[in-house]
Chain A
């Protein structure tokens, strides 16, 4: 499957009376975006108001509580559309051409439950830990209709963000991209013929799938209910996988991460040179132990069936996913498939505790996104987009986390994407 990504470099975002990209500036008309968002039953029923704001790198701005971050993209050629099964029909995506508004992001914020969720600081010491301090963010704060239940609110906010991003992405449809990159993986036989001497490598992509604020969706399906299956890597670039989780924000993959999956990107960099990138195997992280066994058995079975020589495994979350991670590692290593894992650690504020809840000597090649328990103080910002009142109760916060001056004393895990386990960031630990 072959996909061309056309990158349109966005240098600034401004509100305007139209949605368009001109000379690297993205103009957004909030009313047009709102109209598109509200053209959906859940958004109509459960979202009372949407406040739009813009946050730019370097500004004294704090965005919180962050639900999801989404990159505006648009399908230009080829079957299907962005976010199949949610915004577009379920046609298989990942081929043809897609335009990306590089440098821009839609951020949804809203207090779904009375605790948890993430922080994005656009400047200050917190900014270096989140990739979204470097994007031009169009922030949507969504207020629920009175009487809305959390499940409905969560779903509505999720739809609102996806719809907004695909609408805004539409502004790039007819724009000539600054750069075009082509990504292509081959069929099994074709790949072996073309790269007879290159090791066959797959990517086992673990998805958090447990419950409210702990879910991931694939082509509109709640990924709890899938068995391990195959994806062309390019499908992820068109929004085949979507985030529905944000609890312990540091190691949850936003939709932006899925669209820009760094493992996919880095494997493509080596594709045809030092390895033959065969495909992605997506698998879940369910709570039921029999599900864990089945999913890891199947992921290993598919890897074997595809005659893979090696797999890279990325985790999402902490605690029980560590069990899935180790199963995915051990089952592959035992059948002779070499593995490298990407995880993060909860080693305690002093860094002295055992960082993973499960382990095995076969997991001898591990990349870490760092210790999520690291204490951090975030100074007050001139402007807060969203609300701060939940901070004492959120993951990584504690009593008195929110100080009277508006500064926050917490752990790194409060920051969106800080210890991302797809290896999105440069941070590590020793």
Chain B
């Protein structure tokens, strides 16, 4: 019997319409629709698309929770061997939807999932969590992407062990897999060196961890006149988490007024962070955001003044791109308020 697949696509690929139809809610259709054809051709009967789910990109973006619930409910009902989304190529919202719905299905139902998109698509942020086949940046890349995705999907449905990302056609996902190259290491190294010397493109076999390091600012010789700002990825928020900062993969940050607080108390503050045991942070939030000692230093004249607000988000699983966006925003707020130095605490 052939493997059964559910395929997720957007309004555009389902021929419903363009941007003007991006608002449509998810609908369930029988069999393959649009790009599903290319997969079935490649599977040669070994797998079939039993249902296609069509959802507007705006709808997904604006009603993410509802969309996920509906899709997961259908997929659970259908109980397929595999869930495929896209490919989305360079369509940003479609890529976001494909990656997030695939992750949701994987997490909720535990079935294999696969999507495909251009490497710079924001949805590709999730490449460490779900398998994503890299594609060209336009739908013209379908001809090349379909066989790769189809082959990879079959392997997943058969439960075969996956080879290295470059062999199988998925984006490097942080899991290192050994394989045999055609040429020995020394030859590959010499070729890489010649390319590097000549300013030609080369691809490292071992990408260094993504540091995105920021050079620390110049040392401040006299802190006694400085307005000091505070920020944390440790999730310290006002009691009750009024801004609803997510316990993981935070989508925003919060700004908290500490005017009148000599220290953070368990009654007034807590952590929203879901990635560490919160007991000690909740017991004494100063352990993560040390207002107590800083107020003391303020009194002693060791620092000029504490900035009235601190900024807080949850670092747990939060995308680097999101973090950068948060920081760019609140750094501007601090600069405007005359903050000259900032302590960032983590967990």
Contacts and interface: CB of A to CB of B under 8 A. Distances in A.
Contact between A and B in the complex (any CB pair below 8 Å): yes
Contact of B190 (A270, A364, A366): A270
Interface string A304-345: 000001101000000000000000000000000010111101
B190 A312 contact: yes
A420 to B, nearest CB: 7
Interface stretch (A98-106, A187-195, A346-354): A346-354
A359 interface: yes
Q: How large is the interface on B (under 10, 10 to 19, 20 to 34, 35 or more residues)?
A: 35 or more
B202 A365 contact: yes
A427 B196 contact: no
Interface stretch (A108-116, A177-185, A260-268): A260-268
Interface stretch (B141-149, B205-213, B237-245, B327-335): B205-213
A289 B165 CA distance: 37
A342 B186 contact: yes
B184 A425 contact: yes
Given A262-B184, A365-B204, A267 B190 contact: yes
Contacts of A423: 184-189
Contacts of A201: 193, 197
Given A345-B176, A428-B181, A270 B194 contact: yes
A422 B193 contact: no
Contact of B189 (A266, A352, A355): A266
B204 A366 contact: yes
Contacts of B172: 430
Tell which of B165, B194, B197, B206 has the most Cβ of chain A within 10 Å: B206
A199 B175 contact: no
B189 A263 contact: yes
B196 A368 contact: no
Contacts of B185: 262, 342, 367-369, 420-428
B93 to A, nearest CB: 29
Contacts of A352: 174-176
Nearest to A419: B178
A371 interface: yes
B315 to A, nearest CB: 18
Contacts of A425: 184-185
Given A310-B193, A310-B196, A367-B185, A354 B209 contact: yes
Nearest to A309: B197
A381 B301 CA distance: 75
A90 interface: no
B295 to A, nearest CB: 38
Contacts of B189: 263, 266, 312, 340-342, 367, 423
Interface string A399-430: 00000000000001000000011111111111
Given A351-B177, A366-B206, A424 B193 contact: no
A428 B196 contact: no
A374 interface: yes
A363 interface: yes
Given A351-B177, A427-B181, A430-B177, A343 B193 contact: no
A422 B186 contact: yes
Contact of A429 (B177, B202, B209, B213): B177
Query: Which of B172, B176, B183, B209 gathers most chain A CB within 10 Å?
Result: B176
Interface string A271-287: 00011000000000000
A59 interface: no
Contacts of A382: none
A172 interface: no
A417 to B, nearest CB: 12
A430 B205 contact: yes
A340 B196 contact: yes
A422 B174 CA distance: 24
B188 A367 contact: yes
Nearest to B205: A368
A301 to B, nearest CB: 20
B139 interface: no
B178 A356 contact: no
A338 B190 CA distance: 12
Contacts of A41: none
B178 A371 contact: yes
Interface string B149-187: 000000000000000111100001011111111111111
A361 interface: yes
Nearest to A263: B186
Q: Which of A342, A363, A367 has its CB near the most chain B CB atoms (within 10 A)?
A: A367
Contacts of A366: 204-206, 208
A69 to B, nearest CB: 17
A266 B184 CA distance: 10
Contacts of B179: 427-430
B72 interface: no
B294 interface: no
Contact of A199 (B167, B182, B197): B197
A361 B211 contact: yes
B197 A310 contact: yes
A350 B209 contact: no
A351 B193 CA distance: 27
A275 B206 contact: no
Nearest to B204: A366
Given A347-B176, A350-B175, A360-B208, A430 B166 contact: yes
Q: Which 6 A-B pairs have the closest CB atoms?
A: A423-B185, A423-B186, A262-B186, A351-B176, A430-B164, A366-B206
Interface of B: 164-167, 172, 174-190, 192-194, 196-197, 202, 204-206, 208-209, 211, 213
30 contacts: A128-B180, A201-B197, A263-B190, A309-B197, A312-B189, A312-B193, A340-B190, A340-B193, A352-B174, A355-B176, A360-B208, A361-B213, A364-B208, A366-B204, A367-B188, A367-B192, A367-B205, A368-B185, A371-B178, A374-B178, A422-B185, A423-B185, A423-B186, A425-B184, A427-B178, A427-B179, A427-B180, A428-B188, A430-B165, A430-B179
Given A425-B184, A428-B205, 20 more contacts: A262-B187, A266-B189, A269-B187, A270-B190, A275-B193, A275-B194, A275-B197, A312-B189, A340-B189, A340-B193, A359-B208, A361-B213, A364-B204, A366-B208, A368-B205, A424-B184, A424-B185, A427-B179, A427-B181, A428-B164
